[in-house]
Amino acid sequence: MPLSRAIKYPAALSVSLLSLMAVTPHASAQENTASGPQSTRTPDEKWGVSLSVENDLFTASNSDQHYTNGVRLAFISPEDSAPASFLNVAKKVPFFASNGRIRTSYSFGQTMYTPDDITIAENQPDDRPWAGILAGTVGLLSDTGLQNDGDGNYSRIDTLELTLGVVGPASLADKTQKIVHKNINSPAPEGWDNQIKNEPLVNLTYERKYRSWFEADVAGIEFDATPHGAVSLGNAFTNAEVGTMFRMGFDLPADYGPPRIRPSLPGSDFFVPDTEGFPLSGYLFAGVAGRYVARDITLDGNTFKDSNSVDKEPLVGDLQIGFAVIMGQARLTYTHVYRTAEYTAQDGADQFGSLSLSFRF
């Protein structure tokens, strides 16, 4: 099947979604409230921006291998700030709660993957292929804002995201890594001529998370648990994931954990501080997730062309631990991730760190 035909309908969907997601920054939530059931809580009227950097530099090995770097910049709108016609359409998404308040999200990022030894110029067919991804994502988030009321109603967020991008030399991952390594006096990556070929990427992801599924307060220290489930479909990643995140801290903010770069345990680009408490708060967190991976283009290679590839592991697990500090309208998080082997010839698990800085304005 020609590639242009294969992406025709997803591309049309993306144009429609992008046009619908035009935000009216100066319109108030009261002016744009959609008809139908609504949450009674006051909508959050602040924008959010998050910058996330993931790198194996944060590990003890301090080596470039496998998933070696990711950068993502994300913006998230105030609740119910889009035109009322769009909010009405968003609330008709079958998986969204009818009383959820709607946010729109926009992100752009780059990720890169390399074999164990980046100084080898020759092809390494039994190691992870060289690959880079450059992609942008638009999304809808529906947040009920409910708290655990004892009757099975929990805070819930549903997320629907469309990702468009490219894998291959057009991702500019080779140039990025070479420039960075030259400036920090690290070994030059020599094998990018063997990277996966250019291919447009189209991916659709749906995810649901429950906050306050479990919550407790012991001597002023708060605890909660946030289970999640997600499905991704596309020529970049096709997988299904389930997992849970646990938090422990003071004045836990209304968020769903630290933001992360997919495919990873999810968090949220937005957070709402506990304004009734001390302006400084924070928490420790730990999370686990398991994914069934049907497709990963960075391991399976190109969809429509011959390229380097390896036999992937169908089941991949993540364990993450870290901390978050919230001061006023800013949030700083660090996450350390342990990931099981992603391909059959891989020698052991991987680990990397993720640093994120978020602001509300």
Class of domain 3-22+47-360: mainly beta
Confidence of residue 351 (pLDDT cuts 50, 70, 90): very high
- Whole-model pTM: value is 0.86
Q: How far is CA 122 from the centre of its chain?
A: 33
Residue 204's identity, in one-letter code, is: L
DSSP string, 171-198: G-HHHHHHHHHHHTTPPPP--GGGSPPP
Q: Could you state, in order of their start, the residue ranges of all structural domains in the chain?
A: 3-22+47-360
Q: Which residues of 98-124 are buried (b: 16+ CB within 10 A; e: fewer)?
A: ebbbbbbbbbebbbbbbbeebeeeeeb
pLDDT of 254 reads: 80
* Per-residue pLDDT tens over the stretch 186-206: 899 999 999 999 999 999 999
Bridge partners, 207 (sequence order) = 159, 230
* Contact present, 191 and 124 (Cβ < 8 Å): yes
Q: Residue 35: pLDDT above 70?
A: no
Whether omega before 263 lies within 30 degrees of 0, making that bond cis, reads yes
pLDDT of 149: 60
Average pLDDT in the 40-61 region?
86
Encoded amino acid at 113, one letter: Y
pLDDT of residue 61: 62
pLDDT at 33: 42
Region 4-20: what's the mean pLDDT? 38
Average pLDDT across the chain, whole number = 86
